[in-house]
Structures are given as C-alpha cells and as structure tokens.
Amino acid sequence: MKHIKTLNTRLGCGECQTC
C-alpha cells in the first residue's frame, strides 16, 4: 500500500478486570 498504512492487523467470558 502506497497511500494507506494500517496500524493493526488484528474486531464475554467475564474473567477480565471489572469503572
């Protein structure tokens, strides 16, 4: 790609942190 650079190559188990 000459004109566009994509920053990311990579879009509820409830185990992550929960305001």
Count CA atoms within 13 Å of residue 12 on its CB side. Answer: 0
CB of 18 to another protein, least distance (A): 4
d(CA 13, CA 16) in angstroms, rounded, equals: 8
Q: In the bound complex, what is the minimum distance in angstroms from residue 9's beta carbon to another protein?
A: 7
Structure tokens at 19: 């305001």
Tokens representing residue 7 in the block: 């920053």
Site string for another protein, 1-19 (x = CB under 8 A): xxxxxxxxxxxxxxxxxxx
CB of 4 to another protein, least distance (A): 5
Residues that bind another protein (CB under 8 A): 1-19
